[in-house]
Structure 1
Amino acid sequence: MHVGFIGLGVMGTPMAAHLLDAGHVVCSSVNRTAPAPELLKKGLQVMASPKEVAQTSTVIITMLPNTDDVERVLFGPGSVSEGLGEGGLVIDMSTIDPSATRGFAERFRMTRRQYLDAPVSGGEVGAKAATLSIMCGGPAEAFEMARPLLERLGRNITHVGEVNGSGQSCKIANQIVVALTIEAVGEALVFASGAGCDPAKVREALMGGFAASRVLDVHGERMISRNFEPGFRIALHAKDLDLALAAAAHGGVPLPGTSLCRQLLAANQAAGEWQLDHSAIVKSLERLASNTLNETRKENNADG
């Protein structure tokens, strides 16, 4: 296929590389940073604008940080909508607002072009290994057209529903589970450390029981080794939780655990940790534990 791939960041670069390796013709335009040299060596073509990318492509894939970025690339000046031909397909693999997604899809549908929302889970590791979980929302025809490309990028590919926005809602649910699980792992390790245990040994023991999880394995290790180089940045996860809380408020669904995680991520932001990996939520928990300990000591000293 002739594929336009816009958004060649931490996730997008290895994803585009897989498509090039599979023999697809891939082109892009500079969004915020220039394409990685490795992509140019593999044959990536670089155009001047998303419009030019769309004019040479039958499928457009976007992998961008937020809703505004997607709207700008799809509908702003020199955008995809100005260049994509009739029958063309947009696959948005970003994580954005489900309501906006439905609006974007309708705008393309009115001009006989197709739209599939297909956000992913698996982070940088999954993007590099082509093992992403991909959650798709949109017409079956669009899903089948996209499937050969998606199969080069992930393993667990699910057509969640024929209504656009279904994939985005599924991804938000994923982000709720991930956030609460990372918080739980961090809370458990902080508790273990405060109780005088070696958190590395505690993690090892938990990995053999019912508490075992991918998050405990990967992010638990990050917390213990203090490796907070971003696989998935706090800033992006906070954005996803904002989407969850906004959608939940609109639907009248309470998300108390999600609200707590969002507050902890806000504490990370206040501490200048916005660009760290989301496993650094443990740093906010550690500060809470330290503050509580200090307050207890003050009370004991006052009583003594």
Structure 2
Amino acid sequence: MALGAIAFVGLGSMGLPMASNLAAKGFSVRGYDVRAESRAALARAGGTEAGSPTEAAAGADALLLMVVNAAQAEAVLFGEGALAALAPEAAVILMATCPPEAVVRIAERVEAAGRRFVDAPVSGGVVGAEGGTLTVMAATSEETFARVRPILDALGTRIFHVGTKPGQGATVKAVNQLLCGVHIVATAEALSLAEQVGVDLGVVLEILSGSSAASWMLRDRGPRMLEETPRVTSAVDIFVKDLGIVLEAGRDQKAALPLASLAHQLFLATSGRGEGLLDDSQVIRSYRKLNGQG
């Protein structure tokens, strides 16, 4: 079945380039965001502005949600009435990072209304959203996955069907964010120690990046930890939220997650000093405070 209009709600730092990529690849996209400038940017990219979530969703075959959290998704779907405005059997594709249990609750209400639900969080950050190279972790029925696959292919290069039950995609994303957050904090701790003894951090990064200590986060965030004000590709507050979701998932499953808990505390400390909107690499500032360096 060919897909008709696509609604996209949440045109933030990731949502706007994602919606723009869909428009550039020939999809009919109606987008909504509370910020007028974001709606206008989508229109310039070939999409159509909508005045409300309901207007965006009216008769659409799919609704993509790239909102901040589960509460916003619920407000759009049930409070604003976007769910009821969709075409019969339309697919709601939740791509934001949300707690698994919240995803299950949303899915139940969506499916009770006769629509399909796709639990499809993404990884890859702003760079992946801009380049259309995101990793998508989708949980839905085989039939629905096949139906929405063209949309997912327009957004990412690594598309995975991780299960058929809502919440499975969110859980895989939580596992991903656990490792990402811990790896960023571990990188900050290592570089803080090197900084403390006064060695050339550029040389240290070169050594570590080519050794068994290397990680993707070390190579990506490490150089930015040496910059005073690096470009923000993922903010400190994103990991405050995401590691909070990780810990919630751990509590639900009665799984001990001590490393995730410690990493969460360091991101919280950074945010608590008013630095939550800085690039997440700046969690190194918490180590500098702990070690009397700043």
Instruction: Using structure 2 for the length normalisation, give the TM-score.
Output: 0.95
Aligned match of 1:202: 204
Report how far residue 135 of structure 1 moved: 0.7
CA displacement 1:104-156 (0-9 Å, x = unmatched)? 11112122210001111111011111111111112122211111111111111
Matched AA of 2:24? D
Report how far residue 88 of structure 1 moved: 0.4
Output aligned runs, 1:246-261, within 5 Å: 246-261=248-263
Aligned partner (choices 18, 35, 39) of residue 21 of structure 2? 18
Where structure 2 has 5 or more consecutive residues not aligned to the other structure, the ranges are none
What SS class does the counterpart of residue 22 from structure 2 fall into?
A: helix
What SS class does the counterpart of residue 35 from structure 1 fall into?
A: helix
Q: Tell me, yes or no, if the aligned pair for 1:86 and 1:111 is still in contact at 8 Å.
A: no
Output aligned runs, 1:203-242, within 5 Å: 203-242=205-244
Aligned match of 1:98: 100
Output aligned runs, 1:1-304, within 5 Å: 1-35=4-38, 37-76=40-79, 78-290=80-292
Q: Tell me, yes or no, if the aligned pair for 1:120 and 1:132 is still in contact at 8 Å.
A: yes
What is the alpha-carbon distance in structure 1 between the residues aligned to residue 236 and residue 70 of structure 2? 17
Identity of aligned residues (%): 36
Q: Once superposed, what is the RMSD of the aligned Cα atoms? A: 1.6
Report how far residue 205 of structure 1 moved: 1.0
Where structure 1 has 5 or more consecutive residues not aligned to the other structure, the ranges are 295-304
Do the aligned partners of residues 278 and 52 (structure 1) sit closer, same or farther apart at CA in structure 2, a change above 3 Å counting? same
Report how far residue 288 of structure 1 moved: 0.9
What is the alpha-carbon distance in structure 2 between the residues aligned to residue 23 and residue 175 of structure 1? 32
Q: Tell me, yes or no, if the aligned pair for 1:15 and 1:128 is still in contact at 8 Å.
A: yes
What is the alpha-carbon distance in structure 1 between the residues aligned to residue 119 and residue 161 of structure 2? 10
Aligned match of 1:298: none
Q: Tell me, yes or no, if the aligned pair for 2:6 and 2:28 is still in contact at 8 Å.
A: yes
What SS class does the counterpart of residue 94 from structure 1 fall into?
A: coil
Q: Tell me, yes or no, if the aligned pair for 2:23 and 2:46 is still in contact at 8 Å.
A: yes
Paired residues, number: 291
CA displacement 1:32-62 (0-9 Å, x = unmatched)? 4532544212332122221222113111101
What is the alpha-carbon distance in structure 1 between the residues aligned to residue 184 and residue 178 of structure 2? 10
Matched AA of 2:20? A
Q: Tell me, yes or no, if the aligned pair for 2:9 and 2:65 is still in contact at 8 Å.
A: yes
